[in-house]
Amino acid sequence: MITTELSNVGEIIQNQREFFQTGKTKDVTFRIEQLKTLKQAIIEHEQAIVEALQADLHKPQVETYITEISVIKEIDYAIKHLQNWSKPKKASVSWDFFSYSARIYPEPLGVVLIIGPWNYPFQLIISPLIGAIAAGNCAILKPSEIASHTSDIVAKIIAKHFDPAYIAVVEGGVEASQKLLAEKFDHIFFTGGTAVGKIIMAAAAKHLTPVTLELGGKSPCIVDTDINFEHTVRRITWGKFINAGQTCIAPDYLLVNKNIKKDLIDGLAKSLKEFYGDNPVNSPDYARIISEKHFDRLVNFLKDGEVIIGGENQPSERYIAPTVIDNVSLEDPVMQEEIFGPILPIIEYTDIAEAIALINSRPKPLALYLFSQDKNLQKRVLQETSSGGVCINDTVMQVGVPSLPFGGVGDSGIGNYHGKASFDTFSHKKSVLKNSFWLDLKWRYAPYQGKLPIIKKLLG
């Protein structure tokens, strides 16, 4: 058995604690070596990863490279910056602390747990692991059981290249998660749905374990009239229908200026044809729905509003055509729940204030998209809405910029990662203040008599 037996969970954590105590992971050279090993391991297993994603999601090879194997770019970024990130940073002190120096030391947290989802099942378990390694932690990974082939390949790669006393994989579903969550960790990094996020946080609270919760939600996409039309429709089509819409930051629904709505619908139909041909079921470039349960959930949404593009589906293939729906009510399930599939409702607005009011009446989304060249409109939307992140005149691409922290706000999550933010997430910032012995002013020591005027002066 490659993966760790559930009954061994306690033992694995104990072994990791002992390994962590040796201090080996505190050595930055060790961490860089491990990151290099991880990169080589991914390259070595590229084909197996492509096949696993094909089996789980019918994911086209190109999409697997762009969205899963591309995680090696993040490894390179961490290797490049790690020496600098891990150095203690000087902090300033005020003039009355003139005999002191202050520094912030990043230190690893210890043994961390990373729980992944099924939609980008490789990238979303490996990307946080990069942060955990870079920051000097030991880690236990729990990939999603729903993308079972990817879970297996992750377990295989990790077992082959890492000592389980340093990094281990525990495979399984809710039972495995719960077994892990009963244990004490030094950090839990969870990617998944908001409902399960609450379960994770409640379990973590029992041990006072800090959490990062990368959750989902309904990410709106506003389309104004001041746009490059062709670029807009292509970018929306790509961001919505890549991985058959099963992307946490996919545009969930469109908020379209009334004056451009008809053209936009025609444009979407045209670009869908360009991307996937007349019948997307035959396209090698279009993924499938992960499971029967999710297929049924999505097919139910097709009852809402009026299907104006697509709508065809085949249960045996778990295929749902790229679909656009019009005339939805805000009370319809498709506008109440995160869609997480290839269905795109269109809502029109006359004044941007209506679009902003709608966004603000709902839980804060993970992403917000705005297509407009109007600088004032950009400024207004940025100022008047809150979301995990914003991408202007494109979709989904914000996830690929390591200098931008990635995470939600409110219902879409707690904390963030990518690049330096990943290192910070898995580090404790230890504040260290150092005094010297060359002077010892007595203003703070008892007896206090006569010292109040000096103290008041210092406070002033």
Minimal distance, residue 298 CB to ligand NAD, in Å: 13
Q: In angstroms, rounded to a whole number, what is the distance separating the alpha carbons of residues 123 and 400?
A: 12
- Is 214 catalytic? The answer is yes
248 lines the binding site for ligand NAD (CB under 6 A): yes
Q: In angstroms, rounded to a whole number, what is the distance separating the alpha carbons of residues 139 and 161?
A: 14
Edge-first strand listing for the sheet containing 306-309: 306-309, 323-326, 343-349, 253-257, 220-223, 367-371, 389-392
Q: Is the CB of residue 244 less than 8 Å from the CB of residue 287?
A: yes
- Residue 445, Ramachandran bin (φ over 0: left; ψ between -120 and 50: alpha; else beta): beta
144 lines the binding site for ligand NAD (CB under 6 A): yes
301 lines the binding site for ligand NAD (CB under 6 A): no
Closer to ligand NAD by Cβ: residue 178 or 314: 178
The token pair at 260 is: 């451009």
215 lines the binding site for ligand NAD (CB under 6 A): yes
Residues 151-210 close enough to bind ligand NAD by CB under 6 A? 173-174, 177-178, 191-193, 196, 199
- Is 221 catalytic? The answer is no
Q: In angstroms, rounded to a whole number, what is the distance separating the alpha carbons of residues 460 and 446?
A: 21
Which region among 86-94, 110-118, 271-279, 302-310 touches ligand NAD (by CB under 6 A)? 110-118
Minimal distance, residue 216 CB to ligand NAD, in Å: 2
Minimal distance, residue 314 CB to ligand NAD, in Å: 22
Which region among 93-101, 117-125, 281-289, 371-379 touches ligand NAD (by CB under 6 A)? 117-125
Cβ neighbors of 428 (< 8 A, separation 6 or more) are 106, 107, 108, 109
Chosen residue from 31, 142, 187, 288 binding ligand NAD by CB under 6 A: 142
Minimal distance, residue 195 CB to ligand NAD, in Å: 7
Closer to ligand NAD by Cβ: residue 117 or 136: 117
Q: Which long-range contacts (CB under 8 A, 24 or more apart) does 390-393 make?
A: 391/367, 393/227, 393/231, 393/232, 393/235
Chosen residue from 106, 108, 110, 117 binding ligand NAD by CB under 6 A: 117
Please provide the size of the chain in residues: 460
CA distances from 323 to 127, 160, 395, 425 (A): 31, 42, 18, 38
Q: What residues make contact with ligand NAD under the rule CB under 6 A? A: 115-119, 124, 142, 144-145, 173-174, 177-178, 191-193, 196, 199, 214-216, 248, 338, 340, 366, 408, 413
What residues are labeled active site? 214, 248
